[in-house]
Structure 1
Amino acid sequence: MSLHGTAGGTGADDEGETCGTDALAVLELLARQAPPSRFEALLREARRTGTDGARLDRLRRAVRLATDIGATLDRREQREAGLATLVDTARDLTLPYDLDTLLRVIARRAARLLACDTACVSLRDAHGLSSHVHTAEGGRTGLADGVLVPDGSGLGARAHAHGEPAWTADYSVDESFPHSEEVDELVRAEGLHAVIAAPLRVGDTTVGVLYGADRRVRHYTHDEVALMSSLADLAAVAIEKAGLLDQTRAEVTELERDSSRARTRLTRMRHVSEAHSRIMNLVLAGGDLCNVATAAGDALDGTVMIRDPGGRSLATCGDIPGLDEDAVAKASLDAHAGRRPVLAGDNTWVAPVIAGSEDLGVLVIRASTGLTGEDGRLLELAAQSVAFLLLMQRSTAVAEGPVRDELLDDLLADPQHAPQQITQRARRLGIDLRKPHVLVVARPEGGDQGRAVVWASSYAYRMSGLKTVQGGCIVLLLPGEDASAAARAVSGEVSPLLGHPVSVGAAGPGHGPDGAARMFAEAMRCLDAMSALGGAGSAASVRDLGFLGLLLSDDHDVDGFIDSAIGPVLHYDAERFTDLTRTLEAYFASGGSPTNAAEALHVHPNTVSRRLERIGELLGPQWQKPGQILEVQLALRLQRTRAVLAGQRGTEERPVP
């Protein structure tokens, strides 16, 4: 019994010891995290050694339990690793990325988290009708970036519709969702099979989809799907934050741009204010129009020209080459109609010079660069300053008018007052009578003379001359040597102002205080001669009247008349020793017959014809017209008479200069 008992006890102990040994072996493999092949090797060894069936069943059960425990531990480790990666990703997504960089980071993290071959992010457009892939990680073809994912197709549509991840083990053969040709083409080009899509949700709104894909058939686990969903939630928050950050950056940039524009505008306004102050100080300090034009040109970085209502230049600070006068004239009308500067083309602006409703002229500027809004304002202020200066000059002229009128009346008086006293009075008014002067007489042909008298006061003051009114005519004594040019300038200004014809006669130049009365008499005779000849409303000097001017002039400038009539022919003969003058005399003596003139000169008629052609080139194509041909014949007679008289006195013929 004891043996039996001993034997029985020994058998049970051996069996328990054997079971413990088998369990210990399994636990050791489990503790070492041995691969499944080691457990299979343990079972094969037990079968090889002839282990009985019950023990082998217990061993199989232990191996199965150990394998399940190992798998559970592997899943836990994978979950912990995924969570750790997710935490790192969450920390990484808190960095201040711009949107494009953030999308690349999200795609890279998704590929690493699920060990996918490729990953990408698609975002919905502003209208929410379709999505575009913005970035891809791990692609081979580069076709994914920018591809259109139509709404309602693909796994993305399912993920968006259900608000949870959707996946497939093999995309191309899965017919459980609608396909699109664009996405299918991309899947084929990249060689993809398994695809998982997780919606990017911000509250109740889905802004896009996070994709992961493999180039093999793969069944995603619940843990992998959960990780993908968690990453998509984090990514959605980060994308929203990045969008807000980009928006904030854009707003900050716009604010900085607005601030820069405001600073620039403030600087320009300060420049405008300072420039206007300089121009006004110049005006108040007694500066003239040239000074104002120069100051305005410096402030606007251009060339400025001040013109009167008739378009004549009053002052300029430089030349404006290639100025389109027609465009300037049109722009002047538009500028006065709109009371604002108008562009006349090629960086040329025209600003109206206005005092109330009165047109005082225009200010023309050719700018080096285009004018800004502040420059336009400065141009308007400069035009106002010019208007103010013109009004000041007019007021000064009106205030000094009686004194200046009295001085010119004394200059024209007969007998004349003491020249020395008159010279001193003129010097006090800024008039230097020792310099050349011309005298202009303007007679309005009808209408009120009041406006003409006011204009004449301003014009005389502006031109540093004198003005008076005698016998219904405006008399101007102006500095200069060209009486004809002075007459045309006066006519060009006063005629448009009055709106009816004005006859203008001029004489001069003269020097000293004693020449004014003589020039006045000549100018009046010139004016009367124009009226007698039917030239009312014209402008001329005694020199412009040809031989009539010779008769009307007090000094009878024979040399000047001969030179103006046939001077080019005389000079040509003197320089080239030709006989053009003698040919002219023979031509007129023969009654205008080239053949008879050739006989008288003993030359061929063709020679006379060629000489007459040369004379036409020298005197102009109109030299045989009745008016000019009379002057030519008279000049030839005077020239011949002077030569005869000089010969009678035994002197040499004096060539005409």
Structure 2
Amino acid sequence: MTLEDSDRTFLEFLARNAPSAEFEEPLIAARASGVSAEALAELEQSKLLALRVRAALDRSRRREAELSALYETVGDLVALRDVDAVLEAIVRRARKLLDTDTAYLALYDPVRGHAYMRETNGSVSAKFQQLLMPLGAGLGGLVVQTASPYFSSSYLGDARFRHTQAIDEAVTEEGLVAILGVPLRLRGNVIGVLYAADRSERRFARDEVNLLSSLAAHAAVALDNARLLQETRTALEELNTANRKVEARSASVERAAAAYERFTDLAVRGGGVDDIAQ
């Protein structure tokens, strides 16, 4: 096989997205045919270049798929008008986009000074689903404090985070090992943390961190919009209730006024008690 033939073969492999193992076949064939060491070296360089191109194409395809999924997610979030529906959609999409065992979202309560589990997807532990996380505790506590993403490929053994018995017990019961958390920021404030987690060791890539962060940014806006809409609906319902009470009160006053006028008319015309009673 000539060098030109091998280059053509590598291009064919790239065109049909052949598995990496197939890129070794031209070298195996060249060694079997007894080509020179120099020719083998050139063939090896061609193979490495083709594999780099394949890796770049894979990254491009993956990025395109992620952006497409993110675009669909944003469209879904914009269409939702209910807070619970928005939260459920956020964690479901986060789990799907990063292909993790579970995803969950905790909201920060500034009055009580802790974050509480608000929505989960893929969770099997009741203790985990009801978890309270003090500010500064665990991976999420650090995310809230610093307003920055953090991940751990093996959480329970990671000394960067302040561990608490309650959090560690919940994580153990859920069986989580690798955890990624990104902040939900709104008008400069962290309102919660969006997580993606696996039950085996995993080092989250930078692209995955950026993808989850992008989802969290859109989710925070969608969540705020849903909250505002819900508050507006509640205010309108309260206003309608007040209006109905005012209308009922006005009707009652009008009936009383009409009755008074009739009684007065009867009295002026000399009517007695029996006439008024009638």
Global fold match (TM > 0.5): yes
Q: How many angstroms does 1:275 deviate by?
A: 2.5
Normalised TM-score (structure 1): 0.41
Residue 4 of structure 2 aligns with an amino acid whose one-letter code is G
Counterpart CA distance in 1 for 2:173 and 2:254 is 64
Distance 1:46 1:186 in 2: 57
Could you tell me which residue of structure 2 aligns to residue 263 of structure 1? Answer: 247
Distance 1:71 1:170, change over 3 A: same
Q: Alignment partner of 2:157: what SS? A: coil
Equivalent residue of 2:2, what SS? helix
Q: Is 2:50 aligned against 1:50? A: no
Kindly indicate whether residue 95 of structure 2 is the aligned counterpart of residue 118 of structure 1: no
Structure 1 contact 131–208 (Cα < 8 Å) conserved: yes
Q: 2:187 aligns with which of 203, 207, 225?
A: 203
User: What is the match of residue 228 of structure 1?
Assistant: 212
List aligned pairs for 1:485-500, cutoff 5 A.
Answer: none
Counterparts of 2:142 and 2:91 in 1: how far apart (Å)? 20
Over the aligned positions, Cα root-mean-square deviation in angstroms equals: 1.9
**Is the 1:153–1:179 contact (alpha carbons within 8 Å) kept by the matching residues of 2?**
yes
State the distance in 1 between where 2:104 and 2:255 align: 55
- 2:79 aligned counterpart, secondary structure: coil
Runs of 4+ in 1 over 6 A off after TM superposition: none
The letter for the 1-side match of 2:83 is L
In the other structure, the counterpart of 1:427 is: none
Paired residue for 1:150, among 134, 147, 150?
134
The answer to whether the aligner puts 1:86 opposite 2:70 as a matched pair is yes
Q: Distance in 2 between matches of 1:126 and 1:222?
A: 30
Distance 1:259 1:144 in 2: 45
Query: Match for 2:264: what amino acid?
Result: M
Structure-2 residue corresponding to 1:160: 144
Between the two structures, name the one with larger relative contact order (CA 8 Å, sep ≥ 6): 2
**1:136 & 1:52 partners in 2: Cα distance?**
60
Alignment match, 1:340: none
Give the aligned residue type for 2:231: Q
After TM superposition, the structure 1 = structure 2 runs for residues 175-190 of structure 1, keeping only pairs within 5 Å, are 175-190=159-174
- Local SS of the residue matching 1:94: helix
* CA distance in structure 1 between the aligned counterparts of 2:143 and 2:6, rounded to whole angstroms: 50
Q: Aligned pair 1:174/2:188, yes or no?
A: no
Deviation at 1:79, TM superposition (A): 0.9
Q: Which runs of 5+ in 1 are unaligned?
A: 1-16, 296-657
Residues 150 and 180, structure 1, Cα contact 8 Å, conserved in 2: no
Query: What's 2:121 paired with?
Result: 137
* Conserved? CA contact 1:133–1:146, under 8 Å: yes
Out of 268, 284, 306, the position equivalent to 2:268 is 284
Paired residues in the alignment total: 278
Structure 1 residue 152: Cα displacement: 0.8
1:122 is displaced (CA, Å) by 1.1
Greater share of helix residues, 1 or 2? 2
The amino acid that maps onto 2:146 is H
Q: 2:224 aligns with which of 230, 237, 240?
A: 240
Q: Distance in 1 between matches of 2:139 and 2:213?
A: 14
Is the radius of gyration larger for structure 1 or structure 2? Answer: 1
The CA distance in 2 between the partners of 1:29 and 1:138, in whole Å, is: 38
Contact 2:136 2:144 in 1 (8 A): no
- The answer to whether the 8 Å contact 1:43/1:60 transfers is yes
Using the aligned pairs only, state the percent identity: 36
How many angstroms apart in 2 are the aligned matches of 1:40 and 1:272? 98
Q: TM-score, normalised by structure 2?
A: 0.92
